[in-house]
Amino acid sequence: MEKIAAIIVAAGRGTRAGAGLPKQWRILAGKPVLAHTLAAFRKAGLDRLVLVLHPDDMSRAQLLNLAGVTLVAGGASRTDSVRAALETLADAPPEKVLIHDGARPLVSTDVISGVLAALGDSVAAAPALPVVDALWRGADGQVVETPSREGLFRAQTPQGFAFGAILAAHRTHQGTAPDDVEIARAAGLAIAITPGSEDNLKLTHPQDFARAGRILAAQQEEFMTIRIGNGYDVHRFGPGEGCWLCGVLVPHDRALRGHSDADVGMHALTDAIYGALAEGDIGRHFPPSDPQWKGASSDIFLRHAVARAQSRGFRIGNCDVTLVCERPKIGPHAAAMQAALASIMACAPGQVSVKATTSERLGFTGREEGIAALATVCLVSG
């Protein structure tokens, strides 16, 4: 959807959420809040994303899948942050833009699609929920007025606009505003109301995280997809003084031979991920006939496979790598290998298993002509 861009605003400090990291960086169901937000827009088919971050948070962006994401430094207010993102898009303007609060990680495809559909007939549209509770105005701890709820709505995001119209509105707006609908209305734009969702909550207070966790758990249970992949690789020995195995240089009187660094364990694991995605093997993505990959570090291949999984909405559930060799001995290095693979795949070491076995002196591994590796991976959606 190159004609549509989404701006995700996440430059605030979120002080009402309590002490600790800004709310958009806190862990929710095993991932930063912003990881869920980005994934929601990718799931809806948007691949041109602008993420607005506080200047102090730019280094944290490496925790996220940034495929298709442009990073923009936010300003002193939400209005300043959105305007900065709009100006960034102005160099190659989309037809439509969605503006979303990064602290709304549970926005559904239905809500996003509803806004986009409304933009087919309107210059602006935004999701909302009608107010159903009685309203009170209070003072000094007492009810002083009971205003009517008739015609009142609870605003949500993403708020969608014709790009040129909202850019012009921002450029002429003086001061700040709580959202972009207010800026659009000040410029005379009509706003269509589309259906919101109770699950599309904005994380504001500490208790909101518990509620969001329950919603995510229910969604994952209902819609979780699991994919399993297997990988197998072999490399022969040649002259050298050590072998790269699962990201660790293991001292040995020989080295493994291959077009890249011949990390047989990492190659098997990479192929397992590609296999789970039904996307072939390393050779399809990194042909050995291409000289640029000669001597390449195998973490390049593994990172690519993990990024491919993330782009399709999957994360590593767990993986298991078995190295088959008589020598070198793997046990003393297994923990380091586990840590290295976990770091590359951005998952917990407890999700990674590395072990070894011999072939009882049988076959090419038994004759110490090379090393074989087998890997299994489980990819989980969400």
pLDDT digits (tens, 9 = 90+) for 229-270: 999 999 999 999 999 999 999 999 999 999 889 999 999 999
The token pair that represents 265 in the structure block:
């364990």
Over residues 276-313, the pLDDT tens digits come to: 999 999 999 999 888 888 889 999 999 999 999 998 88
**235 and 297 share a domain?**
yes
Q: Tell me, what CATH number does 26's domain have?
A: 3.90.550.10
Structural contact between residues 4 and 89, judged by C-beta atoms closer than 8 angstroms: no
Structural contact between residues 185 and 76, judged by C-beta atoms closer than 8 angstroms: no
Last residue of a domain, one of 180, 198, 223: 223
**233 and 216 share a domain?**
no
Kindly write down the DSSP assignment for every residue of 74-102, as one continuous string. Answer: --SSHHHHHHHHHHHHTTS--SEEEEEET
**281 and 151 share a domain?**
no
**31 and 158 share a domain?**
yes
pLDDT tier, 16 (very low <50, low <70, confident <90, very high otherwise) = low
Percent of the chain exceeding pLDDT 90 equals 86
Last residue of a domain, one of 188, 223, 258: 223
Report how far residue 68's alpha carbon sits from residue 41's, in angstroms, rounded to the nearest whole number: 11
CA 125, 102, 129: angle at the middle one, nearest 5? 40
Residues present in the chain in total: 382
Structure letter (DSSP) for residue 330: -
> Higher pLDDT residue, 186 or 29?
186
Structural contact between residues 269 and 376, judged by C-beta atoms closer than 8 angstroms: no
List the one residue out of 164, 146, 92, 100 whose CA is nearest residue 126: 100
C-alpha dihedral, 359 to 360 to 361 to 362, nearest 10°:
-60
What is the reported pLDDT for 291?
A: 87
Residue 368 has pLDDT above 90, yes or no: yes
**289 and 306 share a domain?**
yes
SS3 per residue for 260-308: CCCCHHHHHHHHHHHHHCCCCCHHHHCCCCCHHHCCCCCHHHHHHHHHH
What is the reported pLDDT for 382?
A: 59
Report how far residue 240's alpha carbon sits from residue 252's, in angstroms, rounded to the nearest whole number: 8
**264 and 373 share a domain?**
yes
What is the reported pLDDT for 295?
A: 86
List the one residue out of 300, 298, 305 whose CA is nearest residue 319: 305
Among the residue ranges 29-33, 216-220, 321-325, 338-342, the one predicted with the least confidence is 216-220
Residue 87 has pLDDT above 90, yes or no: yes
**86 and 182 share a domain?**
yes
Residue 216 has pLDDT above 90, yes or no: no
What is the identity of the amino acid at 241?
Answer: E
| Distance, CA of 127 to chain centre | 24
Rounded mean pLDDT, 135-152: 96
Structural contact between residues 325 and 362, judged by C-beta atoms closer than 8 angstroms: no
Residue-averaged pLDDT of the chain:
93
Residue 227 has pLDDT above 90, yes or no: yes
User: How many CB atoms within 10 Å of residue 194?
Assistant: 24
| Distance, CA of 249 to chain centre | 30
Structural contact between residues 135 and 195, judged by C-beta atoms closer than 8 angstroms: no
Rounded mean pLDDT, 133-161: 96
**217 and 261 share a domain?**
no
List the one residue out of 91, 104, 94 whose CA is nearest residue 160: 94
What is the reported pLDDT for 17?
A: 54
What is the reported pLDDT for 223?
A: 63
Q: Please state whether the peptide bond connecting residue 158 to the residue before it is cis, i.e. omega within 30 degrees of 0.
A: yes
Last residue of a domain, one of 223, 240, 266: 223
What is the reported pLDDT for 19?
A: 61
**184 and 261 share a domain?**
no
Rounded mean pLDDT, 3-24: 82
What is the reported pLDDT for 319?
A: 97
What is the reported pLDDT for 221?
A: 64
Q: Tell me, what CATH number does 368's domain have?
A: 3.30.1330.50
The token pair that represents 174 in the structure block:
């003086």
**260 and 196 share a domain?**
no
Report how far residue 207's alpha carbon sits from residue 1's, in angstroms, rounded to the nearest whole number: 36
**51 and 180 share a domain?**
yes
10 three-state secondary structure: strand
Over residues 3-13, the pLDDT tens digits come to: 999 999 999 87
Structural contact between residues 72 and 53, judged by C-beta atoms closer than 8 angstroms: yes
Report how far residue 155's alpha carbon sits from residue 179's, in angstroms, rounded to the nearest whole number: 9
| Number of domains comprising the chain | 2
Dihedral sign from CA coordinates of 344, 27, 54, 74? positive
Structural contact between residues 318 and 228, judged by C-beta atoms closer than 8 angstroms: no
Rounded mean pLDDT, 78-82: 97
The residue range of the domain holding 114 is: 4-223
- Burial of 227-266, coded b for 16+ CB within 10 Å and e otherwise, reads bebebebbbebeeeeebbbbbbebebebbbebbbbbbbbb
| Residue in the structure block whose two tokens are 């904005």 | 202
**24 and 168 share a domain?**
yes
Structural contact between residues 371 and 264, judged by C-beta atoms closer than 8 angstroms: yes
